[in-house]
Amino acid sequence: MNSVQIRSAEKALSVGTWLIVGGAMLFSILTVTPLMERHTPDGWKWTAPILPLVVDAAVVIVVRLDAVLARLGGHGGRWPIALRWMTGGMTLALNVADSALKKELVGVAVHAVAPLLLIVTAETGLAYRQAITAALTAQEAAQKAERAEREQAAAERREADERRAREEREHAATLVREQRDHEALLAREQTEREHAARREERERTEAREQAERETRERREREREQQHAERERLERQASDRRERERLEREAAARREHEEQQERAARERAALLSGGPVNEKLPEDHARQIVHAAFGEGLSVRAAAELCGWSIGWVSTRYQEHRDHTASRTLEGASQ
């Protein structure tokens, strides 16, 4: 159940409880006042309604504070229980006293209905509210745990991606170093072979060989430097492109998540008002119908929330379905 349905159930429970409490109070005042008038000295008969009003006021206090404590998940201890049963017992005794004194069993049974119903309703309403509060607490805990698991999974995926990218960079650098070392080894071997072949002519061609060797070594150093610089630039460009791609993907994911959360909050805010008894302005009503359609509520529930007729809400739902179908066809054609 979503929060709107839970609030609707709580409202129904509260309205029903107060209807029963009000009816029992009215019945108790009408029943007990004549009894008090007959047992009150002359001149003080005008005080007859005070006692049933005091007892009923205690009933109202018990029902109201039990509802608040149950919603907050608290417990008042033994005294609220004692007050609840004491007021219920007093109400029952005062209502059946007149019939009991007259020994009318049918009257006792009839006048006991409202007090007994009030007592049972107070206990049952308290149990319902405590159960609803416990269920809401468990639901919120489950949602927090689910969010924590999703965040942990996302963090693990990011760490895995970063570790994989780092390993790829290290592997590429290792390959470059090995290639450079291999090329240097081949160059040294070639130089040694050339020195061995020209050892016999060293005295005659030493100056020329020295110049050629210096030129060759200089060119080799320049070539190695150019090669290393080119590899460094390529690595930097590759790393930059990879970082930009990861940043774009992360930004797109965050934007999509923020849009979904913002849309969910807007829908929840529009649907949190509960049923209304009169038509809301059309623009506001359209927004509520759109939110109800997105949450999958029924046409009747949406009509209760905005105050418009079921036919008008059905027409808006059909417009949303047609719009969704057209967007789906456009996405499929693209």
DSSP labels for 46-81? GGTTHHHHHHHHHHHHHHHHHHHHHHHT----HHHH
Q: What is the CA radius of gyration of the chain?
A: 43
pLDDT tens digits for 10-39?
666 666 666 766 676 666 766 766 666 666
| Residue 91 burial (10 A CB sphere; 0-12, 13-18, 19+) | buried
Tell me how long the chain is: 334
Dihedral, 185, 188, 194, 199 alpha carbons, nearest 10: -140
Spacing of C-alpha 41 from chain mean position: 64
Mean pLDDT of the chain, nearest integer: 76
Residue 87 banded pLDDT, cuts 50, 70, 90: confident
Report the Cα 167 to chain-centroid distance in Å: 38
Kindly state the DSSP code that residue 270 receives in the 8-state scheme.
Answer: H
Specify whether the CB–CB gap between 118 and 91 falls below 8 A.
Answer: yes
Pick from 66-75, 166-175, 302-311: least confident: 66-75
DSSP state letters, 94-141: HHHHHHHHTT-HHHHHHHHHHHHHHHHHHHHHHHHHHHHHHHHHHHHH
For the segment 235-261, what is each residue's pLDDT rounded down to a tens digit?
888 888 888 888 888 888 888 777 777
* Predicted pLDDT at 290: 84
- In whole angstroms, what is the distance from residue 197 CA to residue 205 CA? 12
If one counts every other C-beta atom within 10 angstroms of the C-beta of residue 162, the result is 11
The Cα 176–Cα 172 span in angstroms is 6
Neighbours of 23 (CB within 10 A): 13
Give the global pTM: 0.31
Per-residue pLDDT reduced to its tens digit, 264-299? 777 677 777 677 777 888 888 888 888 888 888 888
